[in-house]
Structure 1
């Protein structure tokens, strides 16, 4: 048994399976409704129940006073009829409040010689709402901040996933790679940035990453798959050598599973026997797509790659408003600078 949920004033409609909460169904189908904890404690998911009826199988949410006044908490509510709710959807990054909160390093995975994958766990009952491609700041004890892109998609939010490259002489990454232990408590500020997937577009997507610039692209791609985007997506991942492709099987699996996805790795210092693309990654994009009019481009990685890509793509027909970038500043004391259109 399933029920329809109509969202006003947007007019969006989606289905909720039996026993599924309104919020879980919305996230599954790419409808960006507001939420905070997803456990009925914070009240951020409050909506007006305009028509229909809901139930709370897990008990009345702790923040709820009286749902008979036409209110419902969509993170806990399951429909028992077709319903209409009134709530403002998340359309832009500015619609999501920026929060500062503690988190725990749940686990650390070494992906290659100089990249780790960090999984962060928020306190019990907390969830971070964000758009695919955004980033967070670690707020250090002295008040300085270090920024890293979120590598998971919004629907997969049990943990926050980061891909972090070791910067020689960088105090923060030196500690992460040599002395940081699992279960360490950190403080983060999130979500941040205007670099995120524009879901309303119908244009083919080109994604270009350099090094750990793959991280936000991973979140964008997985979100696009989750919400059923069918327009063509072509990922170019530029690195020095084959070993720098630190999750080599993942984009290959995407390409095998999804007919609208294509993957091209590009090596600037190719290994012996490499038969794939070589050179600069933005040149590989131009070689395959000499006319970029009618495309969207998302690029993330070091500033020289971003600047070279911007100049090349605009000169090959890409409209400036269709170019979205996330520039990583690596350095001993640098935070990662973020740009986006």
Structure 2
């Protein structure tokens, strides 16, 4: 049975499916509520139940961090009727706590000759709240930092997914490829950055990635799918050669399954027999969209791509306020992305 959740003071409302927690239902419908552990133990997700009733299936309420008679832990509570809950929603990155904490390397998978997918898990069943597209810093013992974008969407937060490209001569990325292993404990600070999907827009979306700039866009796209955004989305992914499209099959699957999604890979040094787009990825975007005045654009990758793209897109009418970017720095193994 489905119930309606009314949220104050925002005035938002959404529906829950049978057995679905309030937090899961909110995330599925694009409403961001605060949370911490997702286990009902920290109280970060608590709101005040103003009307209606909830239950905690399979849970002993005495084991949960319920602080008062009308307090509702949205990460565990399931609506038993239409309800009204008072809770402060997360409206920007400023409202999400940046945390410094240990994490465990849960799994590693080499996706390409120079790209490693690393999955992290927080200790003691904690969860990291973040917005799709944000990044984290690895904290090294000497005080230096290494930044990598989070590649998964917030609703899929049991683990943190990273795509780490090996930088020639890069101390940290050499460590990832040669020394890091499952079970390693790493200190991180997260979430960081202001690159995330602006959900209040109804403009079609163009997304442009360079190399592992695909990572944050993957998280944003999966989040958009999860919350039911039906705006057209066109992903361009620029790499040197076909082997660098390390998750092309995923983007192709999205395109095959969703009418509102298009995928255009672009090779700057095309392989023999390649019949797709070639050249610089921003030029491929402009060739397809000579008037960008009606679009939102998200781009992520190395500085030359981002800066060339910005100039080109402004020249064809894209409003600067509708352009969002995450600039990676591959050339140096330094604190910047």
For Structure 1 versus Structure 2, the TM-score category normalised by the shorter chain is: over 0.9
Q: TM-score, normalised by structure 2?
A: 0.97
Give unmatched runs, 5+ long, in structure 2: none
1:1-341 alignment, distance < 5 Å? 1-57=1-57, 58-60=59-61, 61-66=63-68, 68=69, 70-337=70-337
Q: TM-score, normalised by structure 1?
A: 0.96
CA distance in 2: counterparts of 1:7 and 1:331, whole angstroms? 47
DSSP 3-state at the match of 1:148: strand
Residue deviations 1:43-86, cap 9 Å, x none? 111101111111222121532233x2x22111111121110001
Residue 29 of structure 1: CA displacement?
A: 2.1
Is 1:171–1:332's contact at 8 Å kept on the other side of the alignment? no
Residue 332 of structure 1: CA displacement?
A: 4.2
DSSP 3-state at the match of 1:310: helix
CA distance in 1: counterparts of 2:256 and 2:300, whole angstroms? 24
DSSP 3-state at the match of 1:238: strand
Residue 15 of structure 1: CA displacement?
A: 1.4
**RMSD after superposition:** 1.0
Residue 279 of structure 1: CA displacement?
A: 0.3
Residue 186 of structure 1: CA displacement?
A: 0.4
CA distance in 2: counterparts of 1:134 and 1:149, whole angstroms? 6
CA distance in 1: counterparts of 2:311 and 2:275, whole angstroms? 28
DSSP 3-state at the match of 1:111: strand
Give unmatched runs, 5+ long, in structure 1: none
Residue deviations 1:31-54, cap 9 Å, x none? 101101110111111101111111
Is 1:41–1:125's contact at 8 Å kept on the other side of the alignment? no
Is 2:167–2:333's contact at 8 Å kept on the other side of the alignment? no
CA distance in 2: counterparts of 1:247 and 1:19, whole angstroms? 34
**Count of paired positions:** 335
